[in-house]
Amino acid sequence: MTRRTAENRCAKLPEWPLADQDAWAIALHDHDPFEPDVGYARRWKTSTLKLVVAGYGRWIGWLERTGQLDPSSKPGERTTLARLTEYHEALLAAGLGDLTIANYIQQLGNALTAMVPNEDWSRILRGAGRIRERARRVKNPRQRMRPAAELLQLGFDLMAAAAATADTGRNYVERSADFRDGLIIALLVHRPMRAANIAQIRIGKHLRPSAGGWSVTFSSEEMKAPRAFEFGWPSSLVAGLNEYLQVYRPRLLRRAGVEATDALFVSTNGRAFDANRVGERVFLRTRAAFGTPVNAHAFRSIAATTIATETPTNITDAARVLGHASLRTTRAHYIQAQAIDAGRTMHRALEELRATARRRGDR
């Protein structure tokens, strides 16, 4: 079970100190041309607002747990360099990856920029940027790549393990989480959406029955690329989705004893997943299975590279699967796939030369 520590415990907005709630309300207020500090957060999409609220709530939750939250203080007053350093160390100690930590730190910086816009919070944002850059510089992205078939098998294995009644060592909540995570991973292989969109799926709004299965639709405002996105739920996962909706999701909600939510993917506490939670579950499951984690965003590269390698003329198919507004981004994956394929060709040629030399008795 995942520990409920600094990396995933978010104080909800109503749990924030009153001063913080007031500051956030001002950040969400209508723009005032004579008050430039009002309405700063109105420039962000709803999905971004949710991430920022979660990131700031995580900071508030950590302050409270460590006994450093003074409700009478103002948001900017309690954000000291010493506390930021300690918070960063707590996130590292929780076993989170650098990119996840960078996102959490940036969300905190964005929240403070909106709530206390008359102060300079660039130090926090620059810090997040340095953490992110270090992660990209140190880690080879290809080390996070796995064959699509292996990832798909992991998804099906997790779902099958959840349904195995002989496994008496795991309770129904743990098995329900297994099935949920397996379905997410299998879905990402077939439809490599961004984690934010996975978390965003609502039953009846985005996910609707269609002929023989299900369809998922997002409006242009809900997508990173400003255009609507629609796809059919993969036919091989329809049975899995039906079982999740009828058996495992109700178990998670019933166990939590909370009000029903229309979110497709929910936690063991019965609450809707956010993008960070989706990423965390994929990260943990793939790390446990392969030793090296695969982050949720890597599924997009894996999908494009797979299509480019297997059907190199279908670049438009890759763009549609990824929801790219143009082919420019998709072409980068094709170039990578061509390099991989060229490397394999060269390897085969060298092996053939070595075999010929051995037959001739050369050394």
Q: How confident is the model at residue 92 (pLDDT cuts 50, 70, 90)?
A: confident
Q: How confident is the model at residue 334 (pLDDT cuts 50, 70, 90)?
A: very low
Asked if residue 156 has pLDDT above 60, the reply is yes
| pLDDT at position 60 | 94
Average pLDDT, integer, range 134-146: 63
- Tokens, residue 298: 């890597």
Question: Residue 26 belongs to what H/E stretch?
Answer: helix 18-27
DSSP structural state of residue 19? H
| pLDDT at position 36 | 67
Give the max Cα distance, the chain. Answer: 87
| pLDDT at position 291 | 87
For residue 278, count other CB atoms closer than 10 A to its CB. 23
| pLDDT at position 322 | 53
User: How many whole angstroms separate alpha carbon 353 and alpha carbon 280?
Assistant: 46
The letter for the amino acid at 79 is T
Asked if residue 230 has pLDDT above 60, the reply is yes
Average pLDDT, integer, range 95-116: 88
List for the chain the helix, strand, coil content (%; round to 5): 60, 5, 30
Q: Is 245 helix (H, G, I), strand (E, B) or coil?
A: helix
Considering only CA atoms, which of 72, 145, 64, 75 is closest in space to residue 113?
Answer: 75
Q: How confident is the model at residue 358 (pLDDT cuts 50, 70, 90)?
A: low
Asked if residue 208 has pLDDT above 90, the reply is yes
Asked if residue 140 has pLDDT above 70, the reply is no
Considering only CA atoms, which of 282, 266, 249 is closest in space to residue 176?
Answer: 249
User: How many whole angstroms separate alpha carbon 9 and alpha carbon 4?
Assistant: 6
Interval 11-44: pLDDT, tens: 899 999 999 999 999 988 887 666 767 788 888 8
Average pLDDT, integer, range 82-110: 86
Most confident of 124-128, 163-167, 322-326: 124-128
Asked if residue 132 has pLDDT above 70, the reply is yes
Asked if residue 202 has pLDDT above 70, the reply is yes
Note whether 179 and 158 are within 8 A (CB). Answer: yes
DSSP 70-127: -TTS-TTTT--HHHHHHHHHHHHHTT--HHHHHHHHHHHHHHHHHHSTTS--HHHHHH
User: How many whole angstroms separate alpha carbon 195 and alpha carbon 193?
Assistant: 6
| pLDDT at position 324 | 46
Q: How confident is the model at residue 200 (pLDDT cuts 50, 70, 90)?
A: very high
| pLDDT at position 354 | 62
Is 363 or 95 the better-scoring residue by pLDDT?
95
Q: Say which CATH topology domain 143-296 has.
A: hpI Integrase; Chain A (1.10.443)
User: How many whole angstroms separate alpha carbon 92 and alpha carbon 90?
Assistant: 5
Note whether 313 and 303 are within 8 A (CB). Answer: no
Question: In the chain, what percentage of residues exceed pLDDT 70?
Answer: 74
Asked if residue 317 has pLDDT above 60, the reply is no
CATH architecture of 13-139: Orthogonal Bundle (1.10)
Q: Which residue has the tokens 């930021």?
A: 84
User: How many whole angstroms separate alpha carbon 286 and alpha carbon 198?
Assistant: 17
Count Cβ atoms within 10 A of the Cβ of residue 244 and give its class: 0-12 exposed, 13-18 middle, 19 or more buried: buried
User: How many whole angstroms separate alpha carbon 296 and alpha carbon 211?
Assistant: 29
- Domain spans in the chain, listed from the N-terminal domain onward: 13-139, 143-296, 310-360
Beta bridge mates, 216? 207, 231
Interval 257-283: pLDDT, tens: 656 789 999 988 888 888 878 888 998
CA Rg value for the chain: 23
Note whether 271 and 262 are within 8 A (CB). Answer: no
Asked if residue 363 has pLDDT above 80, the reply is no
| pLDDT at position 171 | 83
Average pLDDT, integer, range 139-154: 76
Note whether 267 and 276 are within 8 A (CB). Answer: no
pTM of the model: 0.57
* HSE of 207, CA atoms in CB hemisphere, 13 A: 19
| pLDDT at position 167 | 54
| pLDDT at position 335 | 46
| pLDDT at position 1 | 33
Q: How confident is the model at residue 342 (pLDDT cuts 50, 70, 90)?
A: very low
Asked if residue 302 has pLDDT above 60, the reply is yes
